[in-house]
Amino acid sequence: MPLVTSKEMLLKAQQGGYAVGAFNAENMEMVKAIIQAAEELKAPVMIQTTPSTIKYGTLETYQAIVAAEAAKASVPVCLHLDHGSSFDLAMKALKAGYTSVMIDGSKLDYEGNIEVSKKVADVAASMGIPCEAELGKVGGKEDDLVAVADTNTDPQEAKEFAERTGVTSLAVAIGTAHGFYVGTPVLDKERLSEIRKVVDIPLVLHGASGLSDEDVMDCVKRGICKVNFATELRAAYSKAVRETLEDEKVFDPKAYGKAGIAAVKELVMARMKVCGCDGKAE
């Protein structure tokens, strides 16, 4: 089917008490793996690209790949700009045919974040496209953005932020980090519950790669409607390719591409089940 927006799938997840898996893709093989997993499990799915991925391949290239694969699928597929780094990039993504965008103003002060988030949300809304924003700082590294320490989201600020910006979903910081964790992450789940009490729009969990299944499921129970997975998909793909190339007779890119697809598909299916979105596609 044609690409869909994230609005309906996230609202259904919020009403149904599950989360939509949102998976970052770097190439055609990863796109195929993610959609194949969604098809097999009958799950709605979001495919995401970050600014560095877009710099590598361009918005138009990824939109064309995802749209072509989604057209053959029977499940809803959304193409999302992850960690949009500027108003300009968000506008280019909308023009290129992305069906969901994120503006990440978390590196700015509170008022600056509100200003840029509202600006993007207003334009996106005029086009019928949902807009995600982030409040608080998720630790670790995502592209060129580095957070040295976590600054968790304040519930009352989150309420005001959602009301003033008009964004349709909100990524919150509760102790997660981008990339793989060093040590065991300590999540402020009670803070998540407090945010959910005062914020009506769907909540998003970033930095889920490396979290235990139990932690992800608990966050979903407390109100998370979208869970982002990126680093672990890259690791699974690279590991499969590396192992395939140990055989020096292998020179056909399709051989290690197929291995990468299989590894990513298996991981995505496992994560979809943890999020509870399997069987939720209509």
Residues marked as catalytic: 82
What end-to-end distance do the CA atoms of the chain give, in Å?
12
Question: Known binder of ligand: residue 113?
Answer: no
Question: Known binder of ligand: residue 104?
Answer: yes
Question: Known binder of ligand: residue 87?
Answer: no
User: How far apart, in whole angstroms, are the C-alpha atoms of residue 174 and residue 219?
Assistant: 10
Contact criterion met (CB below 8 Å) for 117 and 138: no
Question: Known binder of ligand: residue 74?
Answer: no
Question: Known binder of ligand: residue 209?
Answer: yes
Question: Known binder of ligand: residue 206?
Answer: yes
Question: Known binder of ligand: residue 231?
Answer: yes
Cβ atoms within 10 Å, residue 219: 24
User: How far apart, in whole angstroms, are the C-alpha atoms of residue 89 and residue 69?
Assistant: 24
User: How far apart, in whole angstroms, are the C-alpha atoms of residue 235 and residue 210?
Assistant: 11
194: tokens are 């407090």
- Which of 227, 274, 275, 270 shows the shortest CA–CA distance to 40? 270
Burial of 182: CB neighbours in 10 Å, binned 0-12, 13-18, 19+: exposed
* Residues tagged in the binding site annotation for dihydroxyacetone phosphate: 179, 207-209, 228-231
| Binding-site residues for Zn(2+) | 83, 104, 134, 178, 206
Name the binding residues.
83, 104, 134, 178-179, 206-209, 228-231
